[in-house]
Amino acid sequence: METPAVKKYAKANNESSAGTAENFRYKSNRAEPKQSELTRAEARAIIEGKLGREKEPPGAVLVDDLKDALSGFFSAIGTRVTLAVAPGEVGQSMPATDTARSKTDAGYVGRRRRLACEAMNWDNIFEATAANDKPVPGYLFKVTAMVASWLILGLALPTAAQVNRSSHFLSRQSVDVSSQGARCGGLDLPENAGCKQVVEWAAGGGKWDSAAGGWYKNMPSITGVNHEQGTLQDFQRLYYCSPPGDSFCGLPPCTGCSNPPCSDCFAGNQLYSSLRPGCDGNDKGVGCVPPKTALGYKGQHWPTTVIHGTQEMHIFAIGDWGGMDGSLDPPEGRKTIVAYDWGRRPGPSVFPRSRWNKMHTVQFCDHKQFVECFNTRGQAPCAPECGYVAGVDDQPQLLVANAFKARAALVDPQYILNVGDNFYWGGIEKTCGSPMDQISYPTKHQFDQIFEGVYQGAGLTNKPWFSVLGNHDWGGFKFDNGWDQQISYTWASNRWVMPAPYYKTSVVYADLGFDVDYFFLDSNFIDAMPPEEDPNHNMCSRKNNKPSASCAAADGPESVDACPGWFASLWAEQKPWVTQLMGQSKANWQIVVTHFPCGHEQDFYKSLQGLGMDLLVTGHRHDQELWLPDDYAKNHMGVTCIVTGGGGGITSEATPNPEETEDWYGEAQYGFYDLTISKSEILIESINYDGEVLLTHTVHPSR
């Protein structure tokens, strides 16, 4: 049968619809599971994302059985019926001689009965005509149809449902809990309705398709076997953890996979964040074991770092560095993180943002126009106003990272200050609420592709990254992405440090006789606006958050409406916290690190400067800016402040063309900072993406 999906796919690929409508069959001596009704063309289209599965209207799945059954009932009175029993279902005329299909599977029967009960609306049973085309009185037909339907649903279906009846209740095959505490279940459950056909197709023959190696490339890492060896449950596991294409499973299998437990996404070797590398298991403090919930350690002190030696001491500062992971197949029905034609690749891909004039009153280039520049690599029809610089705008994270690594090899920084926006577009592609002692598949994939695989080498490997969340880490225009997984990663890594949205730590330079107190703040309340405002830049957006969005399980916002107040409260509790600790600090240096840029909350930071704050390190604005204390026109804080938002995960505020700087806020568009610290001063050097030192400034202790 040529379905609309087959015709659409065939047209898009210049194929004959007659040829593509054939079910795929691989002929070999292998025993094949039962083939699903999904055609090869439809399966390929779904996997390759060329068309989405057409959703059935509510209650539509019951119509076939109900119509067939009613037609059999009315055949006794020679009646021809036209029915409409589900919203959006077009009434279909069917002869009374049609016979009901034989369905004996208990899950199928139960599901049809439940949906039939939910969808029944007797006012929508339109008409019935006798064999001689004379209308049957409406009241008589309605009564007769009701009796017939209840007889069919109440008597006939229970008889068929005797098969495995104990595991079903009105369509619900039971959802189990695995030995690891994860929910799991079979393909017949409603949670897996979106993947059932394509999983059966894959296991039944699709795995032998010539393109299968590309589609199912993640099978070995997730299931422990290659796609050709995969069982039905292995493919269900794949479509739960990292589904290729448009279909996904809402539950993993409980049993039957090649490398149990089937509920994890690491071939039976779940990645835990239960004990930070280097800890012996006896220390149960913040530096070794995660909290029970994501905010369990907020405001706590991360264990002091002690640095020995008398050499020159360096600190790198970077932000807004984490590009899109286009090679990830996200779970939960999420779209791939791809913005342009060539973004479906391993490693980081930069997100193209709009560009404006310096005062942000005139938009030069919107996102769609900029995407066109990426698609054409700067060739027509790329708008010149976008200021696209080929070789720079298309790979800024890698350019900055190369300069970062080259300088690290020379000066050997002791640690990195990371001001957030670690993963564009919306942080970790997983809904908040994962167990704090486990790392999800998207978390591992994104960290590997965007962080671990990029910032390594002499002077960088194993160096601590003291980090905060940016607004994009919370979700960008939503709040319920996997921000808590970035916190969890602290205890799965020997260098990532983010024990809470806000915290403090100290660094002691033992042989040089000085120390630093660091205060890490979450300033993302600025992008937590009322739900109806600015949907593209609002974490609390009603447009982009689901109505059911909640991070209550992770101690986060419990709803869209509660979201602005939650972030406001988070900021409000940090202000007295840092004020008290800043006043109590006896360290030689006091430094604050946060995401939102120089210029926000200036009165508050001025009060901290009065208590001893020496330096404010920020990001969010996608460039490099060094604010001096005497820049009175804009700096009202009385303290040196840097914006290091040019890490390259997103395109810069203005064109990086050094011949067109009239719309630059600072000294560079892409780069990072190198801070050389001693007891008496901090030398700040602004490093361009090509390694050039653009600007320097020296800070002295405020007290």
Residue 180 scores a pLDDT above 50? yes
For the chain, what percent of residues have pLDDT higher than 90? Answer: 73
Question: 310-320: b or e for each residue (b if 16 or more CB lie within 10 Å)?
Answer: eeebbbbbbbb
Residue range 274-293: mean pLDDT, rounded: 94
CA distance 179 to 254: 9
Which stretch of 176-190, 473-487, 579-593, 594-608 has the lowest confidence by average pLDDT?
Answer: 176-190
Residues 6-21 have a mean pLDDT of 39
Q: For residue 612, is pLDDT > 60? A: yes
Q: Note the pLDDT of residue 169.
A: 29
Contact 675, 317 (CB under 8 A): yes
Report the pLDDT value the prediction gives residue 319, as an integer from 0 to 100: 98
Confidence label for 44 from pLDDT (cuts 50, 70 and 90): confident
Contact between 198 and 47 (Cβ < 8 Å): yes
What's the Cα-to-Cα distance from 47 to each of 54, 156, 197, 221, 246, rounded to whole Å?
14, 38, 12, 19, 6
Tens of pLDDT, residue by residue over 332-350, are 999 999 999 999 999 999 9
Q: If DSSP codes are grouped into helix, strand and coil, which group holds residue 404?
A: helix
Q: pLDDT tens digit string along 217-227?
A: 999 999 999 99
Whether residue 670 is predicted with pLDDT greater than 90 in this model: the reply is yes
Percent of the chain topping pLDDT 70: 76
219 Cβ contact partners less than 8 Å away, ≥ 6 residues apart: 225, 226, 227, 230, 234, 238
Q: Which amino acid is at 80?
A: R
Vertex 334, ends 488 and 214: CA angle to 5°?
100
pLDDT, the chain, mean: 83
Bigger pLDDT: 150 or 462? Answer: 462
Please indicate whether residue 385 or residue 22 has the higher confidence score (pLDDT): 385
Structure tokens at 609: 């400067």
By the 8 A CB rule, do 319 and 619 touch? yes
CA distances from 74 to 50, 102, 119, 275, 287 (A): 43, 18, 21, 68, 73
Whether omega for the bond prior to residue 425 falls within 30 degrees of 0, making it cis, is yes
Instruction: State the average pLDDT over residues 643-671.
Output: 98
Q: What is the pLDDT of residue 215?
A: 94
Confidence category of residue 39, pLDDT binned at 50, 70, 90: confident
Domain boundaries, the chain: 313-323+394-699
User: Is the model's pLDDT at 539 over the cut of 50?
Assistant: yes
pLDDT band at 30 (very low <50, low <70, confident <90, very high): very low
Any idea which of 13-22, 454-463, 646-655 has the lowest mean pLDDT? 13-22
Least confidently predicted of 62-71, 373-382, 465-474: 62-71
Is residue 131 classed as helix, strand or coil in its secondary structure?
coil
Asked if 259 and 203 touch (Cβ cutoff 8 Å), the reply is no
The mean per-residue pLDDT over the stretch 341-369 comes to: 97
Least confident of 45-54, 217-226, 234-243, 576-585: 45-54
**Which of the residue ranges 266-280, 290-304, 514-528, 669-683 would you say has the lowest mean pLDDT?**
266-280
The region of weakest confidence among 18-32, 602-616, 631-645 is 18-32
- In this predicted structure, the answer to whether residue 92 has a pLDDT above a threshold of 90 is no
pLDDT at 49: 65
Please state the φ and ψ torsions of residue 418, each to the nearest 5 degrees: -115, 115
Q: What is the pLDDT of residue 45?
A: 78
Identify the architecture of domain 313-323+394-699 in CATH: 4-Layer Sandwich (3.60)
Give the pLDDT band of residue 22 (cuts 50, 70, 90).
very low
Residues 6+ apart with CB under 8 A from 557: 479, 480, 540, 550, 551, 563, 566, 567
Predicted pLDDT of residue 179: 55
Whether residue 381 has pLDDT greater than 90? yes
pLDDT at 124: 36
- pLDDT tier, 387 (very low <50, low <70, confident <90, very high otherwise): very high
Helix then strand count (H, E) for the chain reads 18, 25
Instruction: Please give the structure tokens belonging to residue 689.
Output: 């993406």
| Rounded-to-integer distance, Cα 503 and Cα 535, Å | 30
Whether the per-residue pLDDT at 367 is higher than 50: the answer is: yes
Of 140-149, 528-537, 566-575, the one with minimum mean pLDDT is 140-149
- Is residue 404 within 8 A of residue 648, CB to CB? The reply is no
pLDDT of amino acid 43: 79
